[in-house]
């Protein structure tokens, strides 16, 4: 039984505040003052934030929002690591059993923190995700759908907020049907530019992705927890001619208008560029999804803030 009839519409954006010289891999996290600077840039324009892990960064985000009484709700996410190897991952998803065993322990600890923080910040956290892109064919942190389903049940029995799982739209159409039954809300990712669509084709493709999943689960609310447009590419997975800051502005304008018209919660990916991501190449597309650059200067898509 769903805990919430419908998650309300809000303008929403993904927030990861790692600046140059910081990264979760290095264990160097944004300070509370840096987070406050970021949130003050977003305040008044976005009502809902998505964070990605129950780590020090997220803990500081929640503390700052509570202390400063900032008008955001937060989608809290547990980051669950690989529990099985995935030889289909192009950049390496094969692990020894000792690593996988350690990951299972860390995953349970992550879920325990999600429970603790969802209850501690009940007035701020409005939805909780049990994981992110952990079942899609290419992931480097593969987990069996049955395990994710059990993790979702663990969360649902211990928190008051609705529970979801964030995944590319494709697995929802086949192998995640059992998981969907355990969830309150279904959360999809749609990236037309990763699938070689031009900006003129993009919004039709986004609607198609959403409608396919919604049609598969007519009794469930479907939200989009990642959709965005890269502003640079070195050709790795995205043709350089398909990206750019003006293309980003065009796509996000169409996406946000559609989301508002249809009252669909869509989390734009993302607030700030993150140079720690991906390869060392400066045009690596993973680094360039923000509506702000890494130095916090704005791109043309800031025209969409209101």
Report CA torsion sign: 53, 40, 46, 204. Answer: negative
Residue numbers in the chain where pLDDT is lower than 50 = 1-2
Q: State residue 203's pLDDT score.
A: 98
Q: State residue 304's pLDDT score.
A: 87
Are 23 and 280 spatial neighbours (Cβ–Cβ below 8 Å)?
A: no
Alpha carbon 286 to chain centroid, angstroms: 13
Taking the C-alpha atoms of residue 213 and residue 51, their distance in angstroms, rounded to an integer, is 23
The two tokens of residue 302 are 């800031």
| Fold annotation for 11-228+263-272 | TIM Barrel (3.20.20)
Domain segments of the chain as ranges: 11-228+263-272
Report CA torsion sign: 168, 173, 177, 181. Answer: positive
Taking the C-alpha atoms of residue 3 and residue 166, their distance in angstroms, rounded to an integer, is 18
Q: What percent of the chain has pLDDT over 70?
A: 98
Q: State residue 3's pLDDT score.
A: 57
Q: State residue 1's pLDDT score.
A: 43
């Amino acid at each position: 039984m769903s805990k919430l009839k419908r998650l309300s519409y809000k303008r929403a954006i993904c927030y990861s505040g790692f600046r140059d010289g910081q990264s979760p891999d290095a264990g160097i996290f944004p300070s509370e003052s840096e987070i406050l600077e970021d949130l003050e840039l977003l305040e008044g324009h976005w009502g809902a934030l998505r964070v990605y892990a129950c780590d020090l960064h997220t803990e500081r985000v929640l503390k700052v929002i509570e202390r400063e009484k900032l008008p955001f709700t937060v989608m809290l996410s547990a980051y669950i690591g690989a529990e099985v190897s995935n030889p289909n991952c192009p950049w390496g998803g094969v692990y020894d059993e000792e690593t996988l065993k350690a990951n299972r322990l860390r995953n349970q600890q992550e879920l325990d923190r999600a429970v603790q923080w969802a209850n501690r910040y009940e007035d701020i956290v409005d939805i909780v995700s049990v994981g992110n892109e952990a079942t899609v064919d290419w992931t480097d942190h593969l987990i069996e759908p049955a395990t994710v389903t059990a993790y979702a049940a663990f969360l649902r029995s211990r928190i008051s907020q609705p529970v979801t799982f964030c995944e590319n739209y494709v697995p929802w159409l086949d192998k995640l049907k059992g998981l969907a039954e355990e969830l309150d809300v279904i959360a999809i990712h749609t990236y037309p530019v990763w699938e070689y669509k031009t900006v003129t084709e993009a919004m039709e493709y986004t609607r198609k992705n959403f409608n396919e999943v919604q049609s598969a689960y007519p009794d469930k609310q479907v939200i989009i927890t990642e959709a965005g447009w890269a502003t640079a590419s070195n050709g790795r997975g995205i043709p350089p001619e398909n990206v750019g800051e003006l293309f980003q502005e065009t796509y996000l304008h169409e996406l946000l208008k559609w989301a508002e018209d249809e009252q669909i919660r869509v989390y734009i990916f993302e607030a700030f560029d993150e140079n720690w991501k991906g390869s060392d190449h400066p045009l690596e597309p993973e680094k360039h999804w923000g509506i702000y650059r890494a130095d916090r200067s704005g791109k043309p898509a800031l025209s969409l803030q209101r």
